Amino acid sequence: MVSALVEMKNIHKWFGSVHALKGVDFYVNPSEIVGLVGDNGAGKSTLIKILTGVIPADKGEIYFNGKKISFSSPREARDNGIETIYQEQALADDLSVTRNMFLGKEIQKSIGPIKLLDHKKMKKESERILSELGLKIPSMDQEVRFCSGGEREGIAIARAMYFKAKLVILDEPTRALGVAAVRRVLSLVKELKSRGIASVFISHNLHHVYSIADRIVVLVRGEKVEDIPKKETSIRELTKLIIRR
Amino acid sequence: MIIPARIKRIPSKILSYRSFSVSVILVGMIIGFWAITPEHKFISSPVIDIFLTVSPMITIVTIAMALLLISGEFDLSVGSIYALASAIVAILYTNHGVNPVIAVIIALTLAGVLGGFINGIVVTKLRISSLIATLATMWIYRGATLLITEEGREIPYYPGKMFPTFEKFFCGKILGGLPVQFLWLIVIAILLWILLEHTKFGNWIFATGSNKESARMMGINTDRVKIICFILVGFLAAFAGIIQTTRIHIAAPWTAQTMNLEAIAGAVVGGTLLTGGVGSILGAVLGAFSLRVLSLGLVMMGLSPYVYMVATGVLLILAVAFNELVRRWMSHR
């Protein structure tokens, strides 16, 4: 058996008197696509926030690449190769595609002792990776606000790929997208897999999750009620699980 | 062929420049005033000379303000820092006989760097909005100025008597009559433009103002970005105050009381958004120039300074509406 890329063991979280996560075990294998589904308030986001260092767990252990870790900030998680893509937070609207792609990891050129941005190279690299992924954005200088929802999701995914993330967490990546855009995003997630990058796909939409996930994890009111390879289940069964309790 | 394709893109490229609308406004006003002032005196060497002499100080503060606005904050204390810095140099030099170079360094450090740093810390670490934080420091720095000048008395400052080169360094004339302070403006504007457009710190300023959360996610220390911007604004406000005091040979503790709003207005006329993430140095320069041209033009027409107040308000609304129109047109293209 392959050793897991990420393993979370017996995770508990209380918000006041609310027991939001009740001893959840969760793991992701290298280059696996895990669908994380559940109703509102099931604990999906809480689990992910704990993994990426946004909030701490009250109990439980997390292993990344076999090493015990506890990230204290999203930045630390990112430095270790875990990239989280939240729809609203992923990109800065007023910045160009290129500036967003390289935000925080800008390419520079030296002019004597002074380091300036290498706009040309960053633009070229952005163009290369986006066209590799089949994203046709008219201009790399275009402000991201003028990009469609699917394009924005694509830019964020491309960025994760370019900087060699090991695990990409996608929080509702298909929400508010049209049919064509959803298809594009789903194919990008598959592209992540083909490059050996694992991903966690969080969604309300079982059809979207079911179409690409290797394995599906169902949370209901803070408990893991199912953890099953996709082949062994169906959308109908999953739906029952989510809504029955 | 590369050239024809490039030429084809020129119209949309011009429009996409942040400073497009303010350029139109500025050129329009210059032509307008030229046309209506008696004997077209608006474009004559004395008027241009006045413009080059008096506009650099407020313009320097305006471009610094633009930088801070792009990072998502603003600073109401610039006028107080400006007055405090000039009071410090005058007191040290005139009352205590301190070498003027040292006096300037002390004033830039205390009023400028420390003043800006305090603003930045209060905003980012105490999490007080910059409106309240810098409103408070506006009074604190002004109060300090009045305290050290003994109830707001004006202090003479004439380092040029003993140190003529020192004075020329701030406000002499070079290249056959160009005021040195205008050269300072050009140098500072170019440096800030490089910082904003061509360094990674500039990229972080834009990102911090545009979407703080996503900037944080990408590992940018947004608090540090803001603190550095506050320090830059403080430093440049202090520097502008020192130029002014050196030029008029007096430190006036009550000076520059509306400079904060004029600087914000200039930056906004130049296409900077109060919500952060959008703006340019060139736009801010042209925005500040527009306000100066407006005031000079009205004076040339013999109108009361109060007309200038009304006209500034009108210009502000028109300029912002025009900016918005261009932006919207761009997005529907």
Here the CATH number for the domain that contains residue B119 is 1.10.3470
CB contact under 8 A, B209 and A94: yes
pLDDT at A41 over 70: yes
Instruction: Indicate the pLDDT class of residue B3, thresholds 50, 70 and 90.
Output: low
CB contact under 8 A, B218 and A103: yes
CB B253 within 8 A of CB B147: no
In angstroms and rounded to an integer, the radius of gyration of the C-alpha atoms of chain A is 19
CB contact under 8 A, B277 and A94: yes
pLDDT at B6 over 90: no
The residue with greater pLDDT, B330 or A91, is A91
CB contact under 8 A, A78 and B219: yes
The residue with greater pLDDT, A76 or B183, is B183
| Residue B26 forms part of a structural domain | no
- The mean pLDDT of B46-74, rounded to a whole number, is 95
CB contact under 8 A, A91 and B217: no
Residue A33: count other Cβ atoms within 10 Å of its Cβ.
25
| Residue B277 forms part of a structural domain | yes
CB A103 within 8 A of CB B222: no
CB contact under 8 A, B203 and A93: no
Among B321, B323, B299, residue whose Cα is nearest residue B311: B299
- The mean pLDDT of A102-115, rounded to a whole number, is 90
pLDDT at residue number B1 = 46
Residue B210 near chain A (CB below 8 Å): yes
| Residue B3 forms part of a structural domain | no
Instruction: Indicate the pLDDT class of residue A138, thresholds 50, 70 and 90.
Output: confident
3-state secondary structure at position A128: helix
Q: How far apart are CA B18 and CA B286, in angstroms?
A: 11
Q: Give me the number of domains chain B comprises.
A: 1
Tokens of B147: 């305290």
| Residue B306 forms part of a structural domain | yes
- The mean pLDDT of B209-215, rounded to a whole number, is 89
Instruction: Indicate the pLDDT class of residue B223, thresholds 50, 70 and 90.
Output: very high
| Residue B333 forms part of a structural domain | no
Residue B194 near chain A (CB below 8 Å): yes
CB B75 within 8 A of CB B119: yes
pLDDT at B5 over 70: no
Q: Where are the alpha helices (DSSP H) in B211-258?
A: 212-217, 222-248
Q: Which of A93-102, A231-240, B67-76 has the highest mean pLDDT?
A: B67-76
Q: pLDDT, tens digit, for every residue of A82-92?
A: 988 886 677 89
| Residue B9 forms part of a structural domain | no
Element of type H or E holding A45:
helix A44-51
Give me the residue from B194, B207, B213 closest to A103, CB to CB.
B207
Rounded to the nearest 5°, which phi and psi values hold at A176?
65, 25
pLDDT at residue number B333 = 54
In chain B, which residues have their Cβ closer than 8 Å to the Cβ of A75? 216-217, 219
Residue B201: count other Cβ atoms within 10 Å of its Cβ.
16
How close, in Å, is residue B9 to chain A by CA atoms? 12
Task: Locate the chain A residue with the closest alpha carbon to B273.
Answer: A94
- The mean pLDDT of B151-156, rounded to a whole number, is 88
In chain A, which residues have their Cβ closer than 8 Å to the Cβ of B204? 103-104
Q: pLDDT, tens digit, for every residue of B236-285?
A: 999 999 999 999 999 999 998 999 999 999 999 999 998 999 999 999 99
The whole domain housing B280 covers 45-322
- The mean pLDDT of B201-209, rounded to a whole number, is 95
| Residue B100 forms part of a structural domain | yes
In chain B, which residues have their Cβ closer than 8 Å to the Cβ of A74? 216-217
Element of type H or E holding A8:
strand A6-15
CA dihedral B227, B232, B235, B239 (to 10 degrees): -170
Domains assigned to chain A: 6-92+164-244 (3.40.50.300)
Q: How far apart are CA B81 and CA B68, in angstroms?
A: 15
Q: Which residue matches tokens 């042209």? A: B286
User: What number is the ipTM of this complex?
Assistant: 0.81
| Residue B101 forms part of a structural domain | yes
pLDDT at residue number A122 = 94
Element of type H or E holding A167:
strand A167-171
Task: Locate the chain B residue with the closest alpha carbon to A104.
Answer: B218
Rounded to the nearest 5°, which phi and psi values hold at A86?
-95, 140
pLDDT at residue number B2 = 53
